[in-house]
Amino acid sequence: MKKLLLGTVLAGVVAIGAACSNNSSMQGHDMSNMNMKEENTAQDSSKKLPLATNTEVLSGKEINLTAKEALLQINDKVKLPVYTYNGSVPGAQIRVKQGDNVKIVLKNELPEPITIHWHGYPVPNNQDGVPGVTMDAIKPGETFTYEFTATVPGTYFYHSHQESAEQVDKGLYGTLIVEPKNEEKVDRDYTLVLDEWMSNPDEGNMDMSGMDHSNMNNGNSSDNQQMDMSSMGHNMNMYDIFTINGKSGAAVKPLKVKKGEKVRLRLINAGYMSHKLHLHGHEFKIVATDGQPLKDPQPIKDELLSIAPGERYDIEFIANNPGEWLLECHGDMEGTDGMKVKIQYEDQTNNTDKANAKENLPVVDMTTYRKYEVGQFTLDQKYDVEYTMDLGTAMGKDGMVFTINGKTYPETAPVNVKTGDLVKAKIVNNSPTDVHPMHLHGHFFQVLSKNGKPVTGSPLIKDSLNVNPGEEYVVAFKADNPGNWMFHCHDLHHASAGMVTEVKYTDYKSDYTPDPNDTTNKGE
């Protein structure tokens, strides 16, 4: 498998990172600026690119997406070339209702092959968007149509799975919201996509598999966000800008509320680091994780919500404290200060709230959140398949590799199942310092235990799970979606350097046969 470079030279331009829109159309369903486009263009080293536009909201029987290049204005100092879906980062928000038949026509106007993977969504296997596993990559100039039924409501996102460590870093992602049939209405509904990038991408043009970026995910017990660059032999700033909806610092558009309103924030981490968020001035409830609703959520105040790569959290709060308040990232990396957004009450000028990003606050423990309730699975029931996933870090012949049971993909042993099987997996992180946010395609799993202790909150259903060094989780799922499905680390640099396996249904025959001579399919 080809090792991916963090920064990639493309048409004379190093295009990295993500983001661009101030997402005005996604915020509170204010569609007034939905189609606003900036006609200005800027000159890079080889050609003119249009400035990225605001993120639009799309719905209807047929949705059209075009992957194309643009220039991202992250803040008043930094502008970068990016890849986009429909000219914005995040790309267009696809917003449909539960039960809708979804048809998305994707046209590729980028200079390299792409796909769309519907992250967290249980689509049919042939719609999963993994080149070389479920489909061929969509070549420049080609069009592909994705179709599936929106069976499961919740907050999801989509991104390219072709050389994904590069393409997601360049901004090739968007959001997918499936509204429940009987949805409890809120007054404001905001989507906030977290990401991080480099202000000088030329410095990041290196082999990521050969470096120790163990603390990039900030998932260990330390509250500090630090990056261990010692193995690189020199000090280099890499991801030094953190963003919300493609903007950083003062460029992030405030969230408007009115006193008494119920506000929902859909928090999505499209980047490669965990981010710990603090909501100032209000109690909030976690109403869903990875799209799955939580029963009877309990109010939380002045605790940090840690959101790992690939995870989504829906939180709700009542706007009962007029003024101007922050939702901010905690930590002390160079980019931390940029990941914050103001919550502004209309007709209020009180702005006495102050940032406290270095304050040591407790982190919400999702394994104990809410009252205990028996879920679909238990630790002591009988399972048809049991699998141990030993996650490790090693030095390969060409640099650092990330392993599952001592192997790198495609040599990793798959999880072989048949339709209807109940599967229990033990996930153990034996990497000395590396954090591994593990993501399963096509299924949801229930988290049963952490470090040998059963989950004591209500059932925790997820598709992405952050596993810190030394941690052990036991999860379970039902094999109810036939196909060949990726199970991999969503630090996509780790995935590109080997940390991938598959859940393979032995009673499934794919209608897709990879062309062994097609070298363009690079699913990780």
- Compute φ and ψ for 138, nearest 5 degrees: -85, 115
Q: How far apart are CA 71 and CA 43, in angstroms?
A: 9
Strands 79-85 and 63-73: antiparallel
**What burial class does residue 68 get, using C-beta atoms within 10 Å of its C-beta: 0-12 exposed, 13-18 middle, 19+ buried?**
middle
Partners of 275 in beta bridges: 307
pLDDT digits (tens, 9 = 90+) for 143-182: 999 999 999 999 999 999 999 999 999 999 999 999 999 8
Per-residue pLDDT for 222 more than 80? no
Q: What is the pLDDT of residues 336-386, one digit of tens each?
A: 999 999 999 998 767 779 999 999 999 999 999 988 888 999 999 999 999
pLDDT over threshold 50, residue 236: no
Partnered with residue 96 across adjacent β-strands are 178
Q: Is the pLDDT of residue 121 over 80?
A: yes
Q: Can you give the three-state secondary structure of 238-282, one letter per residue?
A: CCCEEEECCECHHHCCCEEECCCCEEEEEEEECCCCCEEEEECCC
In the predicted model, is pLDDT for residue 442 greater than 50?
A: yes
pLDDT in tens, 322-337: 999 999 999 989 899 9
Which residue, among 173, 184, 167, has the nearest Cα to 93 in the 3D structure? 173
Residue 76 pLDDT more than 70? yes
